[in-house]
Structure 1
Amino acid sequence: MKLKLSTKLFAGFLAISVLFAAVVIINYQLSRKVLRNSLRVEESQLRTEEATTLLRNIIDMETGFRGYMLVGNEAMLEPYHIGERNLLGRFVNLRQQMPPDSPQRGRLERAQHLFQQWASYSHLMISEKREALRRNPYQVALEGLEHKLLAEGLTGKMLMDQIRALFDGFEADELAARLERRDKLTDSIQQTRMLSISLTIIAITMGIVWATYITRLLAQRIAMMLDLSRRVAGGDYQTQLKDTDQDELSELVTSLNMMARTIGSTITQLERRNNELDQFAYVVSHDLKAPLRGIESASRWIEEDLGQELPDHIREFLQLMRTRVHRMENLISGILELARVGRTAQAQERVNVREFLTEIIDSLAPPAGFKVDLPSYLPTLITNRVQLQQVFTNLISNAFKYHDHPDTGTVRISCREDRQQYTFSIADDGPGIDPEYHERIFVIFQTLTDRDTLESTGVGLAIVKKIVERQGGTIQVESAEGQGAIFTFTWPKLAVAEASRAIETGIRTA
């Protein structure tokens, strides 16, 4: 009886998992010891830093106090006041980090007591200094202070020296404790490392051996399925695989065979339906345009038959009818053109963009006085000439059509090139587009002007967007009312090999 592939994979996974579970359990036990030592070292380091900050704040207070006693400038007491607000809280926080009966806590309590004595002394001296300055603005140093002898007897200095000694002892004890704990931490890390490396090497070796076995077991069959996928991707939907193993991959092979047959059937149906759709579109186009032409002809016959007897308002109605007929014909043509984008394969060819744009501009016949500026650099690229022409033609003709001052209008075309694509911009100085309509203008049949004011189908920019996106590019507009509009689109480059194939294909097609 053959073992299923899932059973083999599960057995190997289970064996490796058990080994890794053992590694995890052992590492967990050892890591707890490492973590304890590491936390103790870190806590000691934090206590030392806190004590150092605390002592530095006390020294800042002392410096500010001394400066004030000498100069009498209240600004020098700022460090003193800051320390006075914060230090008692710092003492409490640092003291709470240590056991109640530890020598270090005793040192902190004594240091706090001495600090409170010094604070009382400094408060007294500051008050007397302020009173002396109030009486005599020119008072200097300790002159005229009631407790002048306290300062001259170095009372404050002796208190500060004792505080410094206590903090020096605190830091020395913390350093000795840290060194001891770091030695223990180093030993526990070394032990953990050796065991982890040994067990990990065993697990990796076992995993490599099992992975090699499974890889060899699967490689040939996966290669067969990859070959089937490549052939299906290449259009050979009749290819089939044979597999005699009774496991999960056999079911996958069966599914791939069914997929190939289904894709072949679907592609055949899709091609047939596309052909039917094309034929339907042309028939509908012809059938829709025929009555429209009849309506136009009938309106002209009525106008010719009645001649001068035709009332002016009826003549105006007939003219409006013909305008609507032309609009309907243009809409039908636009829909068909939009539907044909990308439906038919077209050869790639080399396009000199400067000559190409010059031809387009000449064919559009811009209004007299309208300027079109081309940049100094325009590339020569290999692309679908017809589709690029549709994009430029629609964008440039829109700049002509919708300009509010066509006699003095300007269109500026620019181009940037990077490794992946070309970026073309068509900028005009026309009436501009409100930002809230920037997305709407690319939707089919959407126009920003009344069709009776300016004839438009609303299909042109939808065609442009569809062409650009099918090429793999993007299009966007930057504009505001009264500030013109800039349409920017990207046109991806063909790779060198792809370009060569495109030119060869075009030559063979021709």
Structure 2
Amino acid sequence: MRLQLNTKIILGFTIAVSMLLLTSLLAWYSIQQLSYYTQRVEHTYQVLQRTSDLRMRMRDAQSQVRGYLLLNDSTQKTTFQAVLQQARLDHDTLRVLTSDNPSQQLRLDTLKTIIAQETDYLSNFLQEKPSVSAVQRLVIGDRAMQEKLRLLVEHMKAEEEGLLSQRRQRQGIYEHTTPAAIIVSAVLAAIIVLWLFNKIFQELKANAELQQQLTQTNEEVARRIQLIESLAERVVQGDYKVKIKDRGKDSLGNLATSLNRMTQTLDENFTMLETRNKELDQFAYVASHDLKAPLRGVVTVVKWIESELPNELSDQMRQYLDMMKGRLHRLEDLINGLLAYARVGRTEQKLEEVHVGQLVREVQEMVVPASFRVEIPTNMPTLVTDRLSLQQVFTNLMGNAAKYHHKPEGTITVSCQELKNEYEFTVRDDGPGIAPQFHEKIFLMFQTLRDRNTAESTGIGLSIVKKILDEQKASIRVDSAEGEGTAFIFTWPKPAPVPTSVAS
């Protein structure tokens, strides 16, 4: 598993610090041991020195007594006491220095007894009369005790010298290991730091190369994405023959291949659609001419029968002829409605300035009976839009409001509200209303809520309105309930602002 650069740096510094701490602890321990054994060596020297001083003082004490006996010098007595006092002080100091050594403590106990005996022995001669014979007796009698003192001191010194040898050996070891530990610590720390910096440098170099590769890759990907965006924009503008030249074997290359296939399919489909539209135009022409011609002929025949045989037709026959004329007119309206529905969105829209208030008044004169009152506000907007499409919407909505009214007279109210990106128009009547369960059904083709024998209706008018608004990317909804009138609310997009050019 490849570690990140930050993790490597932290890990490297952790190892370096750990090694420095470890070697520093080893160096500190070595220094402490060196100091300890140096103190112990000094301590041993002190014991040896005090031991030698003690024996020398006991010999000096004997010398002071001999001097008194030979020279009859009373000052030797005072010096004798001072020497004994120093000997006792040396003994007490040795007891403190060897407090951690039981064997030396036992020897010091014996030494204390010998010192006491030697003191008593020498003190007795200080009471005698000075003479040469007294000196001879002193030396001969004290020889054994001095020998015991010498042997005891020698044993003490031998043990201390043994300890001194061990301690000096340990001291020598730590004298050599301490500098070595410090040097090793410094060398290890330097090696780790150099290794760490080398690793960091290599990682930074690799990251720089990777960053450069990523930059180049990003630039290449951005270029290829720009080609894809350009293709999408040209497809939006209607150019379905555009292709992308991208031979890459990655996801973008696969996407480019898919887009090329998509544009090819779109081109084929739109070519086929144009062919179908032409066929539909031909059908519309046939329907408007070939279908209407025999229809008009049948209407003419009915009129001839009514005019030629006015006295021979019974009331029942006249009723049948009226029903036939109504069905023929409904069939003609149905054909005209189908043609109008088919042409929605297929004819070129002609943008022009439209005063909506004036447009509504013109629609009123065409489709609303004189017995109806139409309320139009004075603040209706002026739009730059396709006049025929907007006129068709108002014509169908206002015509339906009058046609399906349950009374011969009524009120139709047209209002407008300006929104952010569109206008919201409302066509409201005071007719019988529409139950909520039929609000969606009325926009479907050939759907009508009234008996066809009561009011001739093709059921296409609101379908045409819905299709026109869908082409404009607008919406329509109905607000109605039975007995409360009906309001059709639809939106119409505002014209896009025309950019103003700055003269240079």
Q: TM-score, normalised by structure 2?
A: 0.55
Partner of 2:484: 483
Task: Identify the range of structure 1 (358-367 vs 470-479) with the bigger mean alpha-carbon deviation.
Answer: 358-367
Find the counterpart in structure 2 of residue 146 from structure 1: none
Corresponding letter in the other structure for 2:450: T
2:497 is matched with: 496
Preserved contact between residue 368 and residue 402 of structure 2 (Cα < 8 Å): no
Report whether the alignment pairs 1:378 with 2:364: no
Q: Percent identity?
A: 48
Counting only pairs closer than 5 Å after superposition, residues 419-434 of structure 1 correspond to structure 2 as: 419-434=420-435
Q: Distance in 2 between matches of 1:251 and 1:346?
A: 39
Q: Confirm or deny that 1:296 pairs with 2:299.
A: yes
Instruction: From 308, 311, 316, give the equivalent of 2:311.
Output: 308
Deviation string 1:409-447 (CA, Å, 9 cap, x unpaired) is 211211110221111111111111111211121111111
Deviations along 1:267-298, one digit per CA (max 9) or x if unpaired, are 22221221122112221343322332222222
CA distance in 2, matches of 1:455, 1:483: 23
Matched with 1:352 is 355
| 2:192 matches 1:219 | no
> Deviation per CA, 1:137-186, whole angstroms, max 9, x where unpaired?
xxxxxxxxxxxxxxxxxxxxxxxxxxxxxxxxxxxxxxxxxxxxxxxxxx
Match in the other structure for 1:283: 286
1:354 and 1:378 in contact (8 A); partners too:
yes
Is 1:444–1:462's contact at 8 Å kept on the other side of the alignment? yes
Q: 1:434, 1:479 within 8 Å by CA — same for their partners in 2?
A: yes
On the 8 A contact 2:351/2:386 being kept in 1, the answer is: yes
1:449 matched to 2:450: yes
Contact 2:373 2:411 in 1 (8 A): yes
Q: Is the 8 A contact 2:368 2:398 kept in 1?
A: no
Find the aligned partners of 1:244 and 1:365 in 2 and give their Cα distance. Answer: 65
Quote the residue 2:391 is aligned against: 389
CA distance in 1, matches of 2:235, 2:441: 41
Q: Is the 8 A contact 1:367 1:400 kept in 2?
A: no
Unaligned runs of 5+ in 1: 1-13, 27-201, 502-510
Equivalence for 2:407: 405
Distance in 2 of aligned mates of 1:204 and 1:475: 59
Q: Secondary structure at the match of 2:309?
A: helix
Could you tell me which residue of structure 1 aligns to residue 470 of structure 2? 469
Secondary structure at the aligned position of 1:264 is classed as helix
CA distance in 2, matches of 1:401, 1:462: 16
* Matched residue, 1:31: none
Which SS does the other structure have where 1:497 is aligned? coil
Could you report, residue by residue, the CA deviation over 1:178-204 in whole angstroms, capped at 9, with x for unpaired residues? xxxxxxxxxxxxxxxxxxxxxxxx999
Q: Give CA deviations for 1:92-132 in whole Å, capped at 9, x if unaligned.
A: xxxxxxxxxxxxxxxxxxxxxxxxxxxxxxxxxxxxxxxxx
In structure 1, C-alpha distance between the alignment counterparts of 2:429 and 2:337, rounded to whole Å = 24
User: Structure 1 residue 460: deviation in Å?
Assistant: 1.0
Distance 1:249 1:332, change over 3 A: same
Q: How many matched pairs?
A: 308
Displacement after TM superposition at 1:484 (Å): 1.1
**CA spacing shift, 1:246–1:350, aligned 2, 3 Å:** same
Q: What SS does structure 2 have at the residue aligned with 1:476? A: strand
Write the distance in 2 (CA, Å) between the matches of 1:335 and 1:446: 14
Separation in 1, partners of 2:470, 2:249: 47
Q: Is 1:274 aligned with 2:266?
A: no
SS at match of 2:308: helix
Once the two structures are TM-superposed, the CA of residue 228 in structure 1 deviates from its matched residue by 3.9
**CA shift digits 1:193-221 (9 cap, x unpaired):** xxxxxxxxx99999966643430232333
1:320 aligns to 2:323 (yes or no) = yes
> 1:385 is aligned with what amino acid?
R
Could you say if the C-alpha distance between residues 268 and 314 of structure 1 is closer, same or farther in structure 2, counting changes exceeding 3 Å? same
Residue-by-residue CA offset, 1:304-350 (whole Å, 9 max, x unaligned): 33331122211211111111111111001101101111111111111
Q: Kindly state the Cα deviation for residue 250 of structure 1 after the two structures are TM-superposed.
A: 4.3
C-alpha contact 2:287 2:335 (8 A) present in aligned 1: no
Return the match for 1:264 from 246, 249, 267: 267
Partner of 2:112: none
Deviation of 1:266 after TM superposition, in Å, equals 2.9
Q: How far apart, CA to CA, are the structure 2 residues paired with 1:344 and 1:283?
A: 18
Residue in 1 that maps onto 2:418: 417
Letter in structure 1 aligned against 2:316:
H
When the two chains are superposed, the root-mean-square deviation of aligned CA atoms in Å is 3.4
Tell me, in whole angstroms, the C-alpha distance in 2 between the residues paired with 1:204 and 1:291. Answer: 85
In the alignment, the residues of structure 2 paired with residue 495 and residue 333 of structure 1 have an alpha-carbon distance, to the nearest angstrom, of 33
CA drift of 1:389 comes to 0.5
Note if 1:362 corresponds to 2:354.
no
Aligned-partner SS, 2:384: strand
Letter in 2 for 1:496: P
Change (3 A) 1:19 1:385: same
Structure 2 contact 357–378 (Cα < 8 Å) conserved? no
The DSSP-based 3-state class of the residue aligned with 2:311 is helix
Equivalences for residues 155-166 of structure 1 within 5 A: none
Instruction: Select between 466-475 and 292-301 the one with higher mean Cα deviation.
Output: 292-301
Letter paired with 2:359: F
Matched to 1:412, the amino acid is: T
Cα–Cα, structure 1 residues 244 and 423, in superposed 2: closer, same or farther, change >3 Å? closer
1:372/1:249 Cα in 2 relative to 1: closer, same or farther (>3 Å)?
Answer: closer
One of 336, 340, 343 as aligned partner of 2:346? 343
CA contact (8 A) 2:436 2:480 kept: yes
User: CA 1:271/1:306 → structure 2, altered by over 3 Å: closer, same or farther?
Assistant: same
**What do the CA deviations read for 1:203-249 (whole angstroms, capped 9, x no partner)?**
99999666434302323333334334444444444444444655554
Instruction: Report the secondary structure of 1:308's partner residue.
Output: coil
Distance change (3 Å), C-alpha of 1:261 and 1:328:
same
Q: Given that residues 425 and 486 in structure 1 are in contact (C-alpha distance below 8 angstroms), is that contact kept between their aligned partners in structure 2? A: yes
Q: CA deviation at 1:251?
A: 4.5
State the alpha-carbon separation in 2 of the partners of residues 230 and 365 from structure 1. Answer: 46
User: Structure 1 CA distance, aligned partners of 2:6 and 2:486?
Assistant: 66
TM value normalised by structure 1: 0.54
Q: For 1:429-468, what per-residue CA distance to the aligned partner results, in whole angstroms no more than 9, with x for missing partners?
A: 1111111211121111111111211222211111111112
Equivalent position SS for 1:223: helix
